[in-house]
Every structure is written in C-alpha cells, then in structure tokens.
A and B are shown apart, each in its own frame.
Chain A
Amino acid sequence: MTTRRYDARLVIGLVMFGFMVAVAVFAPVIARNDPLAIDMGNQFLPPSADHWFGTARLGFDVFSRVVYAARHDLLIAVSAVVLSIAIGHPIGLLVGYVGGWGDSVTMRFLDVIQAFPALVLAIGVLAALGQGVRNLILVIGIVGVPTFVRLVRAEVRSLREHAYVEAGRAVGNSRSKILVRYIAPGTVGTVVTQAAVSCGWAILLAAALGFIGLGVPLPEPEWGAMIAEGIPEMRRGGSWWIPVFPGVAIAITVFSLSLIGESVADLVEPTRRKSR
C-alpha cells in the first residue's frame, strides 16, 4: 500500500463540487441573462456566443437556467441530507445503545419504509403533500432517514463493546454521558461518508421528481424538469441543447460527490484501501 498524503480523488471531487457550489452561490454574476426572461424572437436557438447553451421555448437562456437551477438542486439536496442526519443520527444512537423493544419497533418500522423503492415512496408522498421546495426537502429528507439510522445503529453496537467504552463505564460515567462523549464521536466518520453519498443520491432523486413533474414548480429552473421539458422539443426540432446540458450538470455534481464519498470512506476506514 502506498502512503500518500492525500487522495487525488478527494481533491478532484472537492474541486468539482466546490465549483458547482460556487456556480450556485454566484449565479447572478455568472448567468448572463435572467433565467425567467422571455424573448419570443429568440426561441430554440442553438448554442452560440450570445447563448452558450442555446435557448429554449419562450426564448429562455439555457445557460442561465442551468446556472440558477444549481441553487435549487443543491439547496434541496443539502437540506434534505441535513434533515436526514438530524432525524436519523440521534435515533440510530439511541436505539443502537439502548436496544430492547424500542429498537425492535424502530427497526420493523424502517423495514416497512424501506420495503418501498425510494422513488415510488417519494412520488406518492410528494403527490399527497403537493409541489414546492419545502415539501421536496421534507420528502427526500425523510426517505433518506432509514439509511442513517441503520448505519449509526450498527456502528454504536460495535463501539459499545470496545474496551475504552467499558473503561468509561468503570470509572462511573452515566449512560447518557457514555453515549454522548464516548460513542457518538466514533460515529461521525461513517455519517460524513454517507452524507456525501446521500447528497448525490438526493440530487438524483430531486431531479427524478422534477422530471416527472412533481419537483420545483415551473417556470423556476430545475435540472430534472428542464430535461423533461427538453425531450419533446428535441424530438420536434432537434434542439438537443435543451435537455443535454442540465443532465451534464447533474452528472458533474453527483460524480464529484461520489468521488468525495469514496475517498473519505477510505480515510475513515483504512482497511478498505487494501482492496483497491
């Protein structure tokens, strides 16, 4: 095994993801037009110096829309993952440490939730709650909770058998202090790894929901919805630029997050590196 100071994948992943975050933050500076500006005289133009990614129906500038959509998609994904962790991490700690019937009930409940394919569950719940950014975050966040509960619970169950935890118990720490001070810090690594992976997954789910028409309401720009809008236009007039570029943005973002997730997993869990 080579000992390198840092992992090239981590650097590339961070740079790419940092780039997408910068695009989202500085969208008003980067975008060359208002993403909602209608320009009927310039519909369906191919990419050019004036419109880098071409124009769509109503003369929307595709480049500006892809840039502004980064705001929606990243905000939804990051908030959803924060929500998943905020709910899933404490529950995982608690049921993993305490065990007993609370643990059994929680796990059976998670079994039921996870019996549904995530997309099907998200479509159903979102249709019931109604469209909108807040509901998207809520639904994607809740669908992501079981992953974190299971992950943290498994980690806690192995950590609580460690000698240092027993030592902590032996010197008279309370159960809650053992959990918070001795066990919880040990779970952070896996949660961070999963957070990167989940974030990529959340972007894909948000885009899928947008694609199906349950995401951010039109005409607000969102990558998945832009692809859905673009496909009929592409078939009618061959304007491939409308659906292609939003997908590239999704792929870059999710790709960078998987790179980060993989390299952090290797950092946290050095035994994984051997199989590389």
Chain B
Amino acid sequence: MLSYLIRRVAALIPILIGVTLLAFIVSHALPGDPARQYAGINASDAQVEAIRERLGLDRSLPQQYCIYMIGDTCAGGSGKGGLLRGDLGDSIRTGFSVAEDVGARLPATLELVAAGMLFALVVALPLGVWAAVRKGKLLDKFCRFISTLGVAVPDFWLAMILLLVFFIVLQWLPGPVGRLPIGATLPDGPTGLYLVDTLVAGDWATFWSAVKHLLLPMVAIGFPAVAPILRLTRNATLSVLNSDYIAFGRAAGLRGAPLYLKYVLRNALPGAVTMTGLIAGYMIGGAVLVERVFSWPGVGQYGYNSLINTDYPAIQAYVLLSAVTYTVAFLIVDLVQSVIDPRVRLK
C-alpha cells in the first residue's frame, strides 16, 4: 500500500509542474498589459515602465517563470518567495497576497460545493437503489429520464430557473445577493463556513439566513451531479442484487429495509462516493457560472475577475487551485479504491 501511495504521489509531480507551466503560459498570453492597468489611465510611460520593472514584468518569460516557481534566487536575490516556498505572489489588482485573497474566498466555494454534493447524494443514492430494485418499472424509467435530462440542462440555466420560481414568483427564498443579505454583519468564525461558524456561535438568526441563501445555489450545483451518481448507484446495486450473498440473505429471511440498507447500499456506496469526490474536485474551480448567477463570493468569481484584469499571479493561483483540487480528488479516489479493491494497485 505504501509503495503504491508513493508511486502515485511521485507520478503527480511532473503533472503538477506541467500544470504550473501551462497556467503561466496561458496567463501571460492574455491580451492586455497588467503594468498599464495597475498604473491607471493617466500614468506616463515612464511610470508604467517603473511599475513594470517593480512587478518584474520586464524580464524574459523563462526568467519570470523561474522567479514564480523558486523565488528571487533566479534574479540573484537572497532567496525569498516562489511557489515552491509556498508563496503565490501578490495580486496586481488588489495588492494583497494571492494566498490571502484566495483563502478569504475558498470557504464560500467549499460551503457551496459541499452542500451541493450532499444534496446530490441525498437525492441520488436512495433513488438509485430504488430504481435498481424496481428495474424496468416506471420508477426506473423515470430515473433514467431524469439522469439523461440532468446532463442536458446547463447548471447556470437551472440556477436562473430556480431564481425565477423561488425568488421572483413565490418569493420564498432570497435573491442572488451572495451568502447573506446585503449589509449583514458577517459571522466571524474560524472556518469561514457560515453554517458552521454561526452554529458554533449559537447565532440562529444568521444561521437560518445563511441556509436560505445557500439553498438555491446548492441545488444548481448539485443537480448535474445527481445523474452520474444515480446511474452508478443503480448499476452497482443491480450487480449486488444478483450476487450470491444477497440470495443467501434472502434465503436467511432478510427482507425490506434492513436488507437494502445494510447489505445492498453498503456495497453500492463506494462507487457513488468516488463519483461524488471527482465531481467535487472539478467543482472547486468549475463553480464559476453558478457563483456568477448568485453573486456568490467564491474562488470562481475571483478567478474570472482576475482573468479580465490580467492579474497574472491571481490567475495562476486560480488555475492552479482548480487543477490541484481536481488532480488530488483523483488521487484520493484512486487510493480509496485501492483500499476497497487491492487489485487496483497492480495496474
């Protein structure tokens, strides 16, 4: 197991280096001049040049990449900064360190994605088991329809429909203003996850408000994930149902909920959890569209705004974060599977 783990992590290193290189190339290929943008419209050419020099943008691209990766050792400095020392650089747009900026927005995205995946699991798991049990019946067909439709509906459009129904027409839930009403005091907690922080502080009113703001984005993020999880659970359940140990369980007199919950679902679960992990890994960076619809102050929006403002360090950090969460999700899923099914390790 340990050697498998080491092999897998070692295989990640060249991929991650490639990822930083690609992120660097893409961000530096963007049209627009960050030095001029930073200097403002009225800046003289000399001022722009001074800023360019200060940001290190006057150096050659390979040198800039080297500085980005291993710090100012590349430029003959004393050895400060650089990605390998955990320094993502400073944002050109906000002036803060990128790590701080991203750190401030990450909990919003995490809360959204976690809630969305929870929603997807709660809907897809029971439905998947049920559809398998009622294979070929109306319910099974309905689930097939839902899962085919689920992949066909864009998440940002679903987000809009939810807003239309629950905010504009029914007025049950708040509009797209982010995580809390505009002007609300933000909960001050250690995690930055509003649901957790308000719960710990016992602030029920804010907790409830945060829940109401989270509901619609949660469904919009989670719904597209229902289809693959549902399908996977159904097929896994089917194969479990045909197995000898379920036949034995039936022969031994097990019926109904205990049989399905304890024996069937447990064996169909790993596949579903795997799929959820992969989708969650994707969503950390990919939630940008739903975040935009709901003005959700997450990393997706931050990445997009950085992109528009050619803020190199911030774009690189966003792209890197997306790629790393996605890759690490894959790794974790592989490891979990190798624990469940040791044959995986041999491949």
Are the chains A and B members of one assembly? yes
Which A residues have a C-beta under 8 Å from some C-beta of B? Answer: 108-109, 111-113, 115-117, 119-121, 123-125, 127-130, 200, 204, 207-208, 211-212, 224, 227, 230-231, 234-235, 238, 240, 243-244, 246-247, 250-255, 257-259, 262, 275-276
Bound complex: CA of A227 vs CA of B153, how far in Å?
13
Q: A115-B19, A115-B327 are in contact. Are A255 and B148 (CB under 8 A)?
A: yes
- Would you call B200 an interface residue if the criterion is a C-beta within 8 Å of the partner chain's C-beta atoms? no
Taking a contact as CB atoms under 8 Å apart, the answer to whether B14 and A130 are in contact is: no
Instruction: Give 1 or 0 for each of B139-182: 1 = CB within 8 Å of chain A CB.
Output: 00000000011011110110011011000100000011000000
The residue in B168, B176, B286 that gathers the most chain A C-beta atoms within 10 A of its C-beta is B286
Q: Point out the residue from B22, B148, B163, B239 that lies within 8 Å of A262, measured CB to CB.
A: B148
Residues of A within 8 A of B19 (CB): 112, 115-116
Bound complex: CA of A125 vs CA of B308, how far in Å?
13
Q: A116-B326, A234-B160, A250-B154 are in contact. Are A124 and B288 (CB under 8 A)?
A: no
Taking a contact as CB atoms under 8 Å apart, the answer to whether B22 and A112 are in contact is: yes
Taking a contact as CB atoms under 8 Å apart, the answer to whether B175 and A235 are in contact is: yes
For this complex, 8 residue pairs linking A to B, each with C-beta atoms less than 8 Å apart, are A112-B19, A119-B288, A124-B319, A227-B160, A243-B160, A247-B153, A257-B152, A258-B148
- Would you call B235 an interface residue if the criterion is a C-beta within 8 Å of the partner chain's C-beta atoms? yes
Taking a contact as CB atoms under 8 Å apart, the answer to whether B15 and A120 are in contact is: no
- Would you call B29 an interface residue if the criterion is a C-beta within 8 Å of the partner chain's C-beta atoms? yes
Instruction: Give 1 or 0 for each of B98-136: 1 = CB within 8 Å of chain A CB.
Output: 000000000000000000000000000000000000001
Bound complex: CA of A238 vs CA of B156, how far in Å?
18
B284 closest partner in A (C-beta): A117
Residues of B within 8 A of A247 (CB): 153-154, 157, 160-161
The residue in A127, A244, A251, A254 that gathers the most chain B C-beta atoms within 10 A of its C-beta is A127
Q: A116-B19, A128-B29 are in contact. Are A212 and B288 (CB under 8 A)?
A: yes
Q: A247-B153, A251-B154 given. 15 additional CB < 8 A pairs?
A: A109-B18, A115-B16, A115-B323, A116-B326, A117-B285, A119-B286, A120-B288, A124-B307, A127-B307, A247-B161, A251-B149, A251-B152, A258-B152, A262-B148, A275-B239
Taking a contact as CB atoms under 8 Å apart, the answer to whether A234 and B26 are in contact is: no
Q: How far is the CB of B294 from chain A (nearest CB, A)?
A: 11
- Would you call B89 an interface residue if the criterion is a C-beta within 8 Å of the partner chain's C-beta atoms? no
Taking a contact as CB atoms under 8 Å apart, the answer to whether A116 and B154 are in contact is: no
Residues of A within 8 A of B160 (CB): 227, 230-231, 234, 243-244, 247
Taking a contact as CB atoms under 8 Å apart, the answer to whether B154 and A208 are in contact is: yes
B321 closest partner in A (C-beta): A120
Bound complex: CA of A247 vs CA of B27, how far in Å?
31
Residues of B within 8 A of A243 (CB): 157, 160
Bound complex: CA of A62 vs CA of B289, how far in Å?
23
Residues of A within 8 A of B148 (CB): 255, 258-259, 262
